[in-house]
Amino acid sequence: MNPVIKNRKPPRLITVHSSTRLTPNMQRVIFSGDNLNDFPEGQEGANFKLLLPQPGDALPDLNAFPAGEGKKPIVRTYTVRRYDAATQQLTVDFALHGDQHMGPASQFAVNAKAGDQVGIAGPGPKKLSTLDADWFLFAADMSAIPAAAAVIEELPQDAKGYAFFEIPSADDKQPIDAPAGLSITWLINPDAQNPSSQQLDAIKAIDWPSGRPSIFAAGEGNTVRALRRYFLDEHNIERKAMYASPYWKIGLTEDQHQVQKRSEKD
């Protein structure tokens, strides 16, 4: 069993240190506080549960998560972008989907002020553990770029491959400390609420390298499903060499999407 899961700590309350606009559609929030003093190191790219208070409450009821009595907090899934044990600071990037599609977590991030408090639970296991592959392939939209970027920045310096990131505007490009051999292509899609084949089309156009790949694909559900099907059918990729996960789906709220994902697993 993954030691992070086996030794998972109870939910903890953490404090906003700062909140800044990283790109027009990405908000970076840095959390701090003594409750982060035993947060596990080296879990960049892993997800955790963000526990937000219900409307009208100042703090989330951590005792009610996940199945305790009380008013259950609003739960959203986010990624460890960076954790600095020396300063006890946890960096989290929040994708923003425009005012009309902004949910409670995005609203929290945009309005967060130093001293605000929320809860977190986790983190879970890291996304991509196969780092001894011959080459790497990443496909992500704004919701999954924080996870993909965290994994990329842990790759060996001689790693090679491709990354295709779909973003709403050219201004949403962000610096990523990638190995020189990893080519990053930014695909512009100003309307994420309509199905897009840009990532799949771009991947189909590459000269597929020989050797063992390690694949990361995450983001909108329809896109991820099409990518997974392509990898399995056209390149016979082993499932253990591929992380393919839908983070959201067009037309569904986060809660509706989570219900659908659970039903598909069942």
Average pLDDT score over the chain: 91
Instruction: Give me the pLDDT at residue 4, please.
Output: 46
Which pLDDT band, with edges at 50, 70 and 90, does 100 fall under?
Answer: low
Which pLDDT band, with edges at 50, 70 and 90, does 220 fall under?
Answer: very high
Beta strands in 33-128 (DSSP E): 47-52, 74-79, 82-84, 89-95, 117-121
Instruction: Give me the pLDDT at residue 15, please.
Output: 98
Beta bridge partner(s), residue 21: 27
| pTM exceeds 0.85, yes or no | yes
Which pLDDT band, with edges at 50, 70 and 90, does 102 fall under?
Answer: confident
The residue-averaged pLDDT of 183-196 equals 94
3-state SS class at 107: helix
Half-sphere exposure (CA, 13 Å, Cβ side) for 255? 6
For 230: left if phi > 0, alpha if psi spans -120 to 50, otherwise beta; the answer is alpha
The residue-averaged pLDDT of 137-155 equals 96
Nearest to 261 by CA among 224, 236, 231, 214: 224
Express each pLDDT in 37-90 by its tens digit: 999 999 999 999 999 999 999 999 999 999 888 899 999 999 999 999 999 999
Burial of 195 (0-12, 13-18, 19+ CB in 10 A): exposed
**32-41, 93-102, 189-198, 222-231: which range is least confident on average?**
93-102
The residue-averaged pLDDT of 223-229 equals 97
Q: How far is Cα 80 from Cα 47, in angstroms, rounded to an integer?
A: 6
